[in-house]
Every structure is written in structure tokens, then in C-alpha cells.
Chains A and B, each alone.
Chain A
Amino acid sequence: MRVTNQMSAANLLLHLNSLRNRTSNLTDQISSGQRITRLSADPTAGAEVLRVRSHLEVMKGWESNLANARSWLSETESALDHMTTLMQRVRELGVAGANGTLSGEQRANMAIEVDEIVSDLLFTLNGKGTDGALFGGFRTDLGVETATELPLFSMDPEDGMVTYNGDNGSIRREVGPGITVEANLSGERFVQSVDLLQAVWQLSQDLKKGPADAASAQQLGSVEQALTLVVGLRSEVGARVHRVEQIESRLIDSYVHLNGLLEQAQGVDMEKAILELTNAENTYRAALQVGSRIIPPTLADFLR
């Protein structure tokens, strides 16, 4: 093919430009540590980066929800712990009180202790955690009686009627894709199948009444049921805490995995990039040298 000076020059310029382009790209990558800064550089990897980043942000939300759920559940758990201890004492007193040989004075003392326990139970049930009432369902604003608010649990000391002013709302927290954890225990559980407070109150009444009779045997049965209820609720909450912990540790694993994916999609392989840069520099230098020797000479230099 016939080659002219202009062709050689144009060719050289084209190649020099493409080399400079390569060098500039590689320098960008190395200095920023990122293989791609805009989607158009590599759309498939870029889409992956977007997806992973998005997921990581969502996971942060789950993490904070898990912490919140855990705080609810552990506060509930300690309250139930306390109530278990109280109920065990009640049962002791109930069994002791069924003994027909006790005197009226001993009985009266026991009744006083049981009354104390009833107040304590009431106080615990009306307790508030960091986010509001522990056992109120959605009525997190209620607690002990105030000038303006109803109490969450109240008991009429005359007839032992228990009024629950909360609801059975389930406070849920999202902790995974479509996974929610119920963070609370509704107070209704304490008045539905077994009326806890009333059972204990009844025991106190029986002790004040007189010697053991058939009715108190029945009452002891209610107290047993109440104790079983509290223990059962405590293990239920304990199981939920365990589940939350499991989810938390899985989340940490996911973090590590996703960050690895991100690095893979967007991170630059330093050694490879530096090697390529050195290569490109050498090629550029060689091209310049060769060009300078081939382009200038023409026949005119050699004619007389």
C-alpha cells in the first residue's frame, strides 16, 4: 500500500492519544482505589454495587431494630423474673396457710405479706421500659395511675376486680427480609385464661377469713396455675431473646459477605493496575521515540 507522510503522522497521533487515554484511566483508578466511579464504566458491576449498597443500608435499619427489640425483651424478661420469684413465695405461703394448725395471728401476718406481694405485682405489671409501658400492648403511654391518666392495671381492693386498660397490640420490629420479631408481651395474657392478680388477692382473703377449708384448696390450685402462667411467659420471652441473638449473629455474617462483594465489584486490584500503568508508560515512551525517528526524514534531506 502506498504510504504518505500524512498517514504516518496521523497514525502516530492516533496511537499516542489512545495510550494517553489508557494512562489517564489507570491513574484515576489507582489514585481513587475504585475501579469504577460511574455506572457507565461497567454497568453490570455498577448495578451490583448499587444493589449491595442499598442492601447494606437496609441491614443497618434491621440492626437497630434488633437492638431495640432486644432491649424490650430483656426488660420484659427481668420483670417476669421478678414476678416468678413473687409467685413462688405466694405458693409457699398458700401451702403453709392450708395448714389447719396455724393461729389467727400467724394467718393475719401471712395475709399481710400476700397483700404486699399483690402491690408489688401490680407495680411490676404497670412498669415502664425505655419505650414505654412493658405490658400495655399499644398503650405504651399508660402506667401507674396519675392525675390525668388511667392506670394500666388496677385492682379494686374490695372485690379483687382487675381492670386492664391496655390493649393486645403486638409491637413488631422488622429484622430481616419479611421477618418481624414481636418485642412485647400484652398485659391481656395476665387476665385472660388465668386472672393472676385476682388469684393472689383471693388467697389473701382466704387467709384472713379463717381456718383452712375446701375453698382454699381450690384457691391454691389457681395460684399454681398463675405461677405456671408466669413461668411459661418467661420461657416464651426467653426463646424470643434467643432468636434475636441468632438473627443478630447471622446479620454480622451477612455484613462481611456483602462487603466482600462490594470490594470485588468496585475495588481496584492495585498490583494489576500498577503493572498495566508501567506497561502503558513504556509503550508511550517507545512510541514517541520511534515516531521521532521515522516521521522527519524525507528525500530532500539527502539531495544535493
Chain B
Amino acid sequence: MPSINTLYTARSGLAAARRALDVVGQNVANASATGYSRQEVAQSAAEPARYLPSSGQGVASTNVIRYRDEFLDKQYRMRNNASGYHGARADSLSQVDQILGSLGDDGLNPALNRFFMSWDNLANHPSLATARPQVVDSAGALLETVSQAYLELLQVRTNIDEAIANKMVAINGMAEQVADVNRQILISPANQAQAHELNDQRDLLLDDLAKLAGVTVGSTVDGMVNLYLGGQTLVDRDSAHSLASVSAIEATEPGQAISTLFWTETDQPAQIPGGELAGLLEVRDQRLPQYMEMLDNLMRTLATEVNRILTTDQFGDPLPPPNDVEFFTLGTRWMEIQINPAVLADPSQILAAQTLPAVAGDGERAMQVAKLKDVRLLTGDPVGSRIVTPGEYLRSVVTLVGLQVQQATRSSEAAVTQLAQVEKQRQSVSGVSLDDEMTKMIQFQQAYNATARVVTAIDEMLEVLVNRVGVGGR
């Protein structure tokens, strides 16, 4: 006997089909949206009524499932961290490569060679009028080339400093947003669809924070997340902490104004474990000062030696005036090296002869300066085990930069590839396949049609019951 109950059953079927079609529509609309995880309605038979004989209570749409793999998310964030770190390093180091990595005639090496050759020329022709001005010229050119490189490195450092400050602001903003979303998720368990959207939003933020600074995630039992940055808590359920930066002139070399990061609430210095921020910090605080120091070391050692050769006799005692004029003047800070203004004003003061009083054809002292190019003056390479000539030292600085740039670029490329791999897997789980959705759409559409037919059939049957029963024989 057709009962009203069957209508209820059919009605639940219609509602379920409509609900499912809604979700399909949602998926299709968001097929290209970033960070969207596909959803699916889980349908199950409704709880049968107790204490009553019946054939069922229809279908219940119990849940809208969100397809998301947390493990893949964790992997993605780890790789995003690495990608951010190496990417930031590669980017900033490639700027250094522009400054130091030239293989042409405009590089530092040729300038150094020309400097030594000018002294060789003076040694060969000590009475030639043009020899001394030429020495001053090439010394000036060398200083200028190296100073130029040094200043450009300083500028790169300043740029990185700015970028760090910007990223810190971004982190603070995102932390606030995560805390916000946490709060909203807490108060909206009833509205499932909204919860899924909020989760998607939050996952995007977490991805970005991992790339920015290597922020790690810990979940709580009530669906919120805590964020940790370098051992400290960045977001604690629904409250966010923040970073601040203070800019100060370094007391140590190179004496530039740089900003250090610390936690606003506790005033403790902030440790950044990874991501773009860590990459930038490494380049700013370790790589760049290393290169700058090596440039200073080269020029300072060279200048000191030249001064020594020109102003001391063979026993190491200083020569009396007027032969006590130093060629270079040295300051205390890095790259505070100039040609002595007295020499610039009057190059004839440059002493080329070894024995005094100076004789026209004696260029032995200048020869010693020229020979510095073959003297092992400097401790080479960061390991510091070999003593090398000035030319070798300069080449080792330049090669070191080249190697580090290459390594950073390669690591960055590898990290990006690995990231793409994980993203692919994430998409496989959470991505929307239009073919799938189309198929499901047909499925639910047919289900709706069929259920509607059932309703019509029951309706006809009830009509017969209501209008035709008991009117027999009319």
C-alpha cells in the first residue's frame, strides 16, 4: 500500500540529489581556484525508524567530505620552505654575480694586472717622465674598480635589508589572518560548507608562511592550528604574536645600518629556521660580509706592502724624509684606502731607486713592487690553508662567488622541481577533474529524474486511493 512514508523517502532522495548537484556546481565553479579542495557529498541510508515496521527512511546526506591529504600538506610545506630558502639565496647571490663575476676586460683581475705592469714600466724606465703619472693612474683605476664593487655589494645588502623588513610585515599580517580564521572555524562547526572554505583559506596561508619563514604547524583537537616559528609560538589558537625589527648601525664591519628581528611581546631575538627570510638573512649576514672582507683584505695587504717597500730600507728601518711618503693612506674601516694626496699632487715623489741618493737608471725598488704580483702575501680561500699571490687571491674570491651562485641556483631549481612533484600529488587528491564532475552531474541528474518519477507514481497511486476507492459502481 502506498503510504505517505514513501513520499517522505522520495523527498529525501530529491533533496539529496539536489544537494549533491550543488556540490558538483561548487566544484566546477572552483576548478581553477588556488588552494581549493574538491568536495563530495557522502550519502548513506537514513537511520531506520525504531519500533516501527518500515522499509527505510530514505537517504541522509550525512557529510560533505573535503578531499585533503594532511601528510601531503606537510610535505608541501617542507619543500616550499626549501624552495623559498634556496630561491631567495639564488636571487640575491645572482646580483653579486653581476658585480663580481665578469670574465671580460672590465673585471677586477685585469685592473690588478695593469697596476703591477705600471710599476714594471717604472722599474724599466725610472727617468721617463710619463712613468710615474702612469703608476698613479693605474693605482687609481684599481682602487676605483675595487671600491665600485664594494659599494655595489653594500647596496645589495641594503636592498636585502629592505626586503627582510617587508617580509616581516607580511608574516605579521598572515599570522593575524590565521588567528582570525581559527576563531571563525571554532564558531562555525554547524555550517560545514563554510568550514571547508575557511580550511582552504587557512591552508593557503600556511603554505605561504612556510615559504616565507619556515613556519611549522601543530593542530589542536578542536580544529584550530598553532603556528611555531623558530621554537617560539607565532599563533596560539586565536591569538597571534608578532615580530618587530629594529634598525641599528653595526658596531662591527661593515658598519652599515641593518635591522634585526625580535618578538614584540618578549623582546627576545627571533630565530628564523627557513624560508625566504632565512635565505636573505644568510646572504646579508654571512655571504656579503665575507666577500666584502676579502676585497678589503686584498687591497689592504697590497697597500701595506707597497708602502713598506717604498718607505723602508733593506734592514726594515724607515727611510728619512723626503723618502718617507707613503703611497697609500689607510683608514680603519673596510676599504678606507686612498692614494696619498701628496703623491697625487706630485708623482715625482715616488721613489723607484733602491739605493739612496737615487740614481737615474736605478729602478730596483719599483721592481720589488712589480714583483709583488708573484709574492705569496695572502691566506687564500675561506679554509685559510694556502698562502697565495694577490692575483690568485682575487681569482679565488671571484671563483668562490661563482661557485656559491651556481650551488644556490642548482639547489633552487631542484627545490622547485620537488615542490612541483608534491603539488602534483596534492592536485591528484584535491584537484577537480571536470570529467569526474560531469559524470557525477549526470548521475545525480538521473537520480533526481528517477526519484521524481517515483513521486509521480506514488501521487497517481494515492489519487486512485483517495478519489477512486469507495466509489465503486458509479
Q: Does A147 contact B (CB under 8 A)?
A: no
A303-B442 CB under 8 A given contacts A43-B403, A174-B371: yes
A169-B374 CB under 8 A given contacts A38-B101, A49-B103, A54-B109: no
Residues of the B chain whose Cβ atoms lie less than 8 Å from the Cβ of A42? 406
Q: Does B420 contact A (CB under 8 A)?
A: yes
In residues 350-371 of chain B, which contact A (Cβ within 8 Å)? Answer: 353, 359-362, 367, 370-371
Q: Does B87 contact A (CB under 8 A)?
A: no
Interface of B is mostly: helix
Tell whether, in the assembled complex, residue B362 and residue A40 are in contact, meaning their CB atoms are under 8 Å apart.
Answer: no
The stretch of A89-97, A130-138, A192-200, A230-238 in contact with B is A130-138
A to B contact number (C-beta, < 8 Å):
149
Bound together, the chains give a CA A303 to CA B443 distance in angstroms of 13
A158 to chain B, nearest CB (A): 30
Residues of the B chain whose Cβ atoms lie less than 8 Å from the Cβ of A169? 359, 361-362
Q: Does A172 contact B (CB under 8 A)?
A: yes
Q: Does B405 contact A (CB under 8 A)?
A: yes
In residues 40-79 of chain A, which contact B (Cβ within 8 Å)? Answer: 40-43, 46-47, 49-51, 53-54, 57-58, 61, 65, 68
Partner of B434, one of A5, A14, A138: A5
Residues of the A chain whose Cβ atoms lie less than 8 Å from the Cβ of B425? 1
Q: How many residues of A contact B (CB 8 A)?
A: 52
Q: Does B73 contact A (CB under 8 A)?
A: no
The stretch of B119-127, B168-176, B202-210 in contact with A is B119-127
Q: Does B342 contact A (CB under 8 A)?
A: no
Residues of the A chain whose Cβ atoms lie less than 8 Å from the Cβ of B97? 38-40
Q: How many residues of B contact A (CB 8 A)?
A: 55
Partner of B428, one of A7, A137, A138, A140: A7
Residues of the A chain whose Cβ atoms lie less than 8 Å from the Cβ of B398? 39, 47, 50
Residues of the B chain whose Cβ atoms lie less than 8 Å from the Cβ of A298? 434-435, 438
Tell whether, in the assembled complex, residue B429 and residue A47 are in contact, meaning their CB atoms are under 8 Å apart.
Answer: no
Residues of the A chain whose Cβ atoms lie less than 8 Å from the Cβ of B31? 5-6
Name A36's closest neighbour in chain B (CB-CB).
B103
Can you list 5 A-B pairs with a CB-CB distance of less than 8 A? A5-B31, A14-B420, A53-B103, A138-B362, A178-B374
The 6 A-B pairs at the shortest CB distance, nearest first, are namely A39-B402, A140-B361, A4-B431, A40-B405, A141-B360, A299-B438
Residues of B at under 8 Å CB distance from A?
Answer: 31-32, 94, 97-98, 100-104, 107, 109-110, 113-114, 117, 120, 124-125, 127, 353, 359-362, 367, 370-371, 373-374, 391, 395, 398-399, 401-403, 405-406, 409, 420, 423-425, 427-429, 431-435, 438-439, 442
Other 15 A-B pairs with CB < 8 A, given A4-B432, A298-B434, A303-B442: A36-B103, A39-B401, A40-B401, A43-B406, A46-B399, A47-B398, A50-B107, A50-B109, A50-B398, A57-B110, A132-B360, A138-B353, A141-B360, A172-B367, A300-B434
